[in-house]
Structure 1
Amino acid sequence: MSSWLGASVFSLGEWLIKKMPFISYIYSASKQISAAISPDQKSKAFKEVAIIRHPRIGEYVFGFITSTVILHGSSGSEELNCVYVPSNHLYIGDIFLISSNDIIKPNLSVREGIEIVISGGMSVPRILTTLDAQANEGMDIAGLQDSIATQVDGG
C-alpha cells in the first residue's frame, strides 16, 4: 500500500513538473542523464568510451559515444558519432559530431570511463590500450599514452 501511494505521489509530482515551461526541459534532460549513468538501468545511453583530440593537437579528452547520425551534404553523406564530452560535472558537457576515424576507442568499460571523469582523472590506468588500433591509423596513440602517463605521474 505504501509503495503504491509513494509511486502515485511521485507520478503526480513528475506530471506537474512536465507541465512547467523551461523546468520541464531541465527535468527531462536531467532524467535522461541519470538514466544513462545509473548502473541499474537496462538501457545504455553511453555506448562506449571515446578519446578524441580536443581542443588542440596533442591534447585529448575522454567522452562517451551516445549515438550515430548520418550527415547529408552537397558532397555526399557521412556517418558521424555523437560524442558527449562531460565538463567538470558529468551531467554538464558538450556534444561533438565526429567521424569514427577521429575517435580512439580505449579498452575501457563505460563504468571505468565514468569513474575517470568523476575522479578528475585520478583513476586513469597507467597504460591505455585501444580496442582496434587498425581503425585508428593516423592517430598518435604513443603520444596519447605518453601524455596520460605524464599526467598520472604528476607532470
Structure 2
Amino acid sequence: MKRLRHIFIQGLLALLPIATTLYILYFFYALLDNFLGGLIRRVFRVTLPGVGMVSSILLILLTGILVTDVLGARLFRFGEKMLQRIPVVQRIYFGSKQIIDAFSLQGKQIFSKVALVEYPRKGIYVVGFVTGACKGEVQEKTSANLINVFVPTTPNPTSGMLVLVPEKDVIYLEMTVEEGLKLIVSAGVVTPQ
C-alpha cells in the first residue's frame, strides 16, 4: 500500500506542472475560439478551425510588444492602477502577480543563492533561498551580520517564511535556484547532481 501511494504521489508531481500549463493554454484557446470563432461564423458564415490557437499566440505576442514599449508600459501601469481600486480583483490580480514576479527569473533574480540553514533546531536543516543581507533596524539591533533566507514550503513554494540567519551559520549550496526550486516542489524526489 505504501509503494502504491509513493507511485501515485510521484505521478501526480510529474503531471501537475504539465496539467497546469495545458489547462491555462486550453482556457485561452477555448475563450478566444468561442468568441472569435462564433463571430467569424456569424459574420462570414465560415468555420475556421484553430482560430483560438492562432489568436492566443497573437494575443500573447501583442501583449508582449505592448508592455515592452515605453508608451505601452505606461498604459499598462495605468490599467494596473485602475485595477487597484476594485477590491476583489485587486487581491486576485496583485496576489498572482507577486507570486509570478517572485518566481519568474526575468530581469533581476530575487533569489541569489540556495542555502542550508539549521531550522527549527540544531541538527535539522532546511533548504532556503538567500534574498540578500539584512539591513535596517533589524540589523542595527543585533550584533551578528544577518542574512535574509526565504524558506519555502513543500510542494507549494509560493508560501514560506523569512528566516534571519547569522552569516556564519549559512551553508551555501552549489545548485542553481532552479534546481533548488525543483528539489522543494518535488518534496525531495528530484535531487540535483
User: What TM bracket, shorter-length normalisation?
Assistant: 0.5 to 0.7
SS at match of 2:83: helix
Partner of residue 53 from structure 1, selected from 118, 121, 128: 118
Helix, strand or coil at the partner of 2:101: helix
Q: 2:127 corresponds to which residue?
A: 62
Residue from 99, 107, 121 that aligns with 1:42: 107
Cα-to-partner distance string for 1:99-139 (whole Å, 9 max, x where unaligned): 1111111111111101101111111247xxxxxxxxxxxxx
The share of aligned pairs that are identical, in percent, is 32
Structure 1 contact 30–91 (Cα < 8 Å) conserved: no
- For 2:129 and 2:181, the matched residues in 1 are separated by 9
* Structure 1 alignment gaps of length 5 or more: 127-155
Deviation at 1:87, TM superposition (A): 1.1
Letter in 1 for 2:125: Y
Instruction: Give the letter aligned to residue 99 of structure 2.
Output: I
Structure of larger gyration radius: 2
SS where residue 96 of structure 1 aligns?
A: strand
Say yes or no: does 1:118 pair with 2:185.
yes
Q: Which of the residues 137, 152, 161 maps onto 1:86?
A: 152
Distance 1:79 1:23 in 2: 40
Q: May I ask how many residue pairs the two structures share in their alignment?
A: 123
Note if 1:108 corresponds to 2:172: no
Distance 1:79 1:26, change over 3 A: farther
Change (3 A) 1:79 1:19: farther
Choose between structure 1 and 2: higher helix proportion.
2
Distance 1:100 1:42, change over 3 A: same
Give the alignment's Cα RMSD to 1 decimal: 3.2
Query: Which structure's relative contact order is higher, taking Cα pairs within 8 Å and 6+ residues apart?
Result: 1
Cα deviation per residue 1:57-96 (whole Å; 9 max; x = unaligned)? 22111100012123112xx654311100011311100001
Tell me the residue number matched to 2:166. 99
TM-score normalised to structure 1 length? 0.63
Structure 1 residue 20: deviation in Å? 4.3
SS at structure 1 position matched to 2:108: coil
Gaps of 5+ in 2: 1-57
Q: Rate the CA distance shift 1:84–1:11 in 2: closer, same or farther, 3 A.
A: same
